[in-house]
């Protein structure tokens, strides 16, 4: 750019400056020096350049102030945690610098995006230098020639990358991206201009001092100065905000925040309830649609789109809206922005958060919090949810509305030991394994494993539902006032130190949501999912492995919520299983359709054709691997999968990992079946 700058002024050369490797020309040493011989052109140049910089800065400032006008109210919740700073910094390296999520989720588009991003970093120095030389004077030496050559090679790569991305966006037009926006086209064009003009200068395409060279310099300058205001005004603000959103993202998906009841915080109802992280998230969205692509509710024909939830929140916030979520009619009337119907379709599976490349938290912090806001202010109209809350209030023992005697009879028939102070483990049955017949079989299997492990253990004579369906569906009052206190008191009075449960929903509640309650946290209880416990005691369990092929279905709460993917697989392999994998597995698992309270409120009639249903799709994927067994590790998943198996008349057994081990134990004759 240095040589072109000189050419614009068309001044006599006095010094030496590097243009590109091997090309050196006479050029003025400084602008000040130039002034002595050509005051007018220098002044004109400075005036024009300074004016353009001022316009760029002013527009950037104005549009930033407008976009974040309401962000810094004193009442705004500050949820920008700094715990685990090393982990957070590493996340920045992996996800921002190395673009790991972007590439993993969509390899080709991700790689194209990554090279553009890396090219931007490479360009950082020469772009700053370009502006700096414009301010301080041409005569100053530009950066080393090797670096300019390095950047030139990136200019080629970035041009290819941006052409590929533009082709995808404007020609292929994937549904997830939505209607191509003008700003996307403008930004793509600006990037191409920046790269092309840089290459033209670097390669010496135009003769020094020619008008062609001058035009190239100005084109580069204008493109560069247009970027900051354009970024602030468009979704390209993610360039600035994504690192912050990724840094402050929760460690697990779908995490709900504790409410501040003393300050009448009852969930997200109005735009005043947004936290800093919410505002960061809304403004960091790049509208890529990865979240909606991953969303099982959307994929099975539902209207819920996590991308649209974020964008609707963004629109409402920018329009100075008041109420965030409401009925379909309220959304149509623009008195609310996110529809309750959409919110109530969510499975809280966390697939959207897992897929989002910029660290947006759609689920616990927004969708479930909005459910909570609707329920708290009495405007939740979902009849099945409201009915469920009533049932749970009348029958706090379980979510099914069954009398407590069902569980009492079960533990008596099975001769489960009753927990007493000093025992190693409290085996927590939960609603899934204490009441539901198939779940009870898993509890029986777990009993054999606990016996074989050599720990002292027992179950409570009576249990209360942990409150997971109530909290996920929005009834915080029921969770806090009716259920959580009872469990905390029971654990305290029984001197519970370690809880083991077969239910990932109970695990996520007791080891996550309950830890937000000071009284529970003070008990310092260890909570383990049974796959974690079994892994710890596996060497004490006598096994008689039996060869078979199996596919393991990762429950969302376990894989994404707790990062447990290897333990169940190791257990199954130890039992002699040869595992195959469904296309979506591990952290990328697909929901069975039960989470987020859906097991208790969804109705098959809502989802049209059987083949569209989430559980049917999931079972299809699992059975496509031709397994002799589908293994699970949650009492809810088999309910959904068996329902689908019935529809497609499949007789492939669906078994919990505890049942698989117990079967191998029985063969050994170590424990009576």
- Sequence-distant (≥ 6) Cβ neighbours of residue 476 within 8 angstroms: 259, 266, 267, 372, 375, 376, 470
As to burial, measured by CB atoms within 10 angstroms (0-12 exposed, 13-18 middle, 19+ buried), residue 238 is: buried
In DSSP notation, 371-433 reads: HHHHHHTT----HHHHHHHHHHHH-TT-TT---THHHHHHHHHTTPPBP-TT-SEEEE-HHHH
Helix (H) or strand (E) holding 603: none
- Measured CA to CA, the distance from residue 256 to residue 242 in angstroms comes to 21
Which residues, numbered 288-347, are part of the site for ligand SF4 (CB under 6 A)? 288-291, 294-297, 304, 306-307, 310, 346-347
Shortest distance (Å) from residue 651 CB to ligand SF4: 30
Nearer to ligand SF4, 46 or 318 (CB): 318
Three-class secondary structure of residue 501 per DSSP = strand
Nearer to ligand SF4, 279 or 348 (CB): 348
In DSSP notation, 214-258 reads: HHHHHHHHHHHHHHHHHHHHSGGGHHHHHHHHHHTS-SSTTPPPP
Nearer to ligand SF4, 295 or 325 (CB): 295
Shortest distance (Å) from residue 297 CB to ligand SF4: 4
- Contact between 282 and ligand SF4 (CB under 6 A)? no
| Strand spans (E) along 467-508 | 498-501
- Site track 344-363 with ligand SF4 (rule: CB under 6 A), x = hit: --xxxxxxx--xx-x-x-xx
Shortest distance (Å) from residue 111 CB to ligand SF4: 17
DSSP tag of 262: G
- Site track 594-633 with ligand SF4 (rule: CB under 6 A), x = hit: ----------------------------------------
- Measured CA to CA, the distance from residue 643 to residue 636 in angstroms comes to 11
- Site track 360-399 with ligand SF4 (rule: CB under 6 A), x = hit: x-xx---x--------------------------------
Shortest distance (Å) from residue 174 CB to ligand SF4: 12
Nearer to ligand SF4, 353 or 463 (CB): 353
Nearer to ligand SF4, 283 or 453 (CB): 283
- Contact between 285 and ligand SF4 (CB under 6 A)? yes
Q: Which of 496, 495, 470 is nearest to 483 (CA)?
A: 470
| 592 Cα distance to chain centroid | 19
Shortest distance (Å) from residue 178 CB to ligand SF4: 9
Shortest distance (Å) from residue 243 CB to ligand SF4: 13
Placement of tokens 């009753």 in the chain: 418
Q: Which two tokens stand for residue 43?
A: 């002044």
* Count of other CB atoms within 10 angstroms of residue 82: 8
Shortest distance (Å) from residue 359 CB to ligand SF4: 8
Shortest distance (Å) from residue 376 CB to ligand SF4: 20
Nearer to ligand SF4, 362 or 441 (CB): 362
Among the residue ranges 50-58, 282-290, 330-338, 477-485, the one whose residues contact ligand SF4 (CB under 6 A): 282-290
Nearer to ligand SF4, 287 or 482 (CB): 287
Shortest distance (Å) from residue 349 CB to ligand SF4: 4
- Sequence-distant (≥ 6) Cβ neighbours of residue 416 within 8 angstroms: 427, 443, 447, 458, 459
325 strand-pairing partners: 338
- Contact between 243 and ligand SF4 (CB under 6 A)? no
Nearer to ligand SF4, 161 or 595 (CB): 595
Nearer to ligand SF4, 116 or 294 (CB): 294
Shortest distance (Å) from residue 586 CB to ligand SF4: 16
- β-strands 629-632, 425-428: how paired? unpaired
- Measured CA to CA, the distance from residue 42 to residue 214 in angstroms comes to 14
- Measured CA to CA, the distance from residue 186 to residue 191 in angstroms comes to 9
Single out the residue of 42, 273, 278, 287 in contact with ligand SF4 (rule: CB under 6 A).
287
| 22 Cα distance to chain centroid | 49
- Measured CA to CA, the distance from residue 294 to residue 488 in angstroms comes to 36
* Count of other CB atoms within 10 angstroms of residue 24: 13
Nearer to ligand SF4, 213 or 256 (CB): 256
Shortest distance (Å) from residue 566 CB to ligand SF4: 23
Shortest distance (Å) from residue 314 CB to ligand SF4: 10
Nearer to ligand SF4, 42 or 513 (CB): 513
Nearer to ligand SF4, 245 or 259 (CB): 245
Q: How many residues bind ligand SF4 (CB under 6 A)?
A: 29
Binding site for ligand SF4 (CB under 6 A): 285-291, 294-297, 304, 306-307, 310, 346-352, 355-356, 358, 360, 362-363, 367
């Amino acid at each position: 750019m240095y040589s072109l700058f000189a050419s614009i002024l068309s001044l006599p050369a006095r010094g030496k400056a590097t243009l590109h490797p091997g090309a050196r020309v006479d050029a003025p040493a400084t602008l000040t020096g130039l002034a002595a011989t050509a005051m007018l052109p220098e002044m004109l140049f400075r005036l024009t350049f300074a004016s353009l910089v001022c316009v760029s800065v002013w527009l950037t400032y104005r549009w930033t102030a407008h976009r974040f006008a309401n962000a810094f109210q004193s009442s705004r919740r500050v949820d920008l945690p700094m715990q685990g700073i090393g982990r957070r910094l590493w996340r920045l390296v992996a996800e921002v610098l190395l673009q790991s999520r972007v590439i993993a989720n969509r390899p080709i588009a991700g790689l194209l995006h990554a090279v553009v991003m890396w090219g931007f970093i490479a360009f950082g120095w020469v772009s700053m230098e370009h502006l700096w030389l414009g301010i301080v004077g041409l005569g100053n030496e530009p950066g080393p020639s090797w670096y300019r050559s390095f950047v030139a090679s990136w200019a080629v790569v970035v041009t290819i990358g941006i052409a590929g991305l533009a082709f995808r966006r404007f020609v292929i037009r994937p549904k997830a991206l939505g209607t191509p926006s003008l700003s996307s086209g403008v930004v793509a064009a600006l990037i191409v201009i920046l790269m092309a003009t840089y290459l033209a200068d670097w390669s010496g395409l135009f003769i020094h001092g020619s008008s062609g060279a001058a035009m190239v310099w100005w084109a580069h300058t204008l493109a560069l100065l247009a970027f900051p205001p354009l970024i602030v005004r468009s979704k390209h603000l993610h360039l600035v905000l994504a690192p912050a959103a990724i840094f402050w993202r929760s460690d697990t998906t779908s995490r709900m925040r504790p409410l501040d009841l003393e300050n009448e915080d009852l969930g997200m109802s109005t735009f005043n309830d947004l936290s800093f992280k919410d505002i960061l998230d809304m403004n960091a969205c790049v509208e890529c649609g990865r979240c909606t692509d991953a969303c099982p509710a959307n994929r099975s024909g539902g209207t819920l789109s996590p991308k649209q939830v974020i964008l609707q929140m963004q629109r409402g916030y920018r329009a100075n809206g008041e109420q965030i979520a409401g009925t379909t009619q309220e959304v149509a009337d623009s008195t609310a922005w996110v529809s309750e119907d959409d919110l109530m379709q969510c499975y809280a599976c966390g697939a959207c958060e897992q897929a989002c490349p910029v660290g947006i938290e759609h689920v616990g912090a927004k969708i479930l919090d909005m459910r909570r806001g609707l329920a708290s202010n009495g405007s939740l109209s979902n009849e099945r949810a409201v009915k469920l809350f009533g049932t749970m209030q009348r029958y706090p023992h379980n979510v099914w509305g069954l009398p407590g005697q069902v569980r009492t009879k079960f533990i008596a028939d099975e001769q489960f030991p009753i927990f007493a102070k000093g025992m190693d483990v409290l085996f927590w049955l939960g609603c899934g394994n204490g009441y539901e017949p198939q779940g009870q079989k898993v509890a029986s299997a777990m009993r054999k494993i606990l016996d074989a492990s050599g720990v002292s253990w027992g179950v409570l004579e009576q249990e209360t539902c942990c409150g997971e369906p109530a909290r996920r569906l929005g009834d915080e009052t029921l969770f806090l006032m009716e259920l959580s206190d009872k469990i905390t008191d029971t654990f305290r009075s029984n001197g519970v130190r370690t809880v083991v449960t077969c239910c990932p929903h109970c695990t996520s509640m007791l080891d996550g949501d309950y830890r937000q309650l000071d009284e529970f946290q003070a008990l310092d209880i260890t909570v383990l999912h049974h796959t974690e416990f079994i892994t710890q005691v596996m060497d004490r369990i006598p096994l008689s492995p039996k060869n078979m092929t199996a596919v393991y279905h990762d429950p969302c709460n376990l894989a994404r919520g707790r990062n447990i993917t290897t333990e169940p697989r190791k257990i199954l392999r130890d039992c002699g299983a040869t595992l195959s994998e469904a296309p979506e597995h591990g952290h990328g698992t697909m929901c069975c359709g039960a989470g987020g309270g859906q097991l208790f409120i969804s109705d098959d009639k809502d989802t049209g054709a059987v083949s569209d249903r989430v559980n049917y799709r999931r079972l299809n994927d699992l059975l496509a691997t031709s397994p002799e067994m589908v293994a699970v590790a949650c009492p809810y998943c088999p309910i959904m999968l068996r329902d689908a198996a019935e529809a497609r008349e499949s007789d492939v057994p669906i078994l919990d990992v505890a049942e698989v081990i117990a079967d191998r134990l029985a063969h050994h004759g170590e424990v009576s079946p």
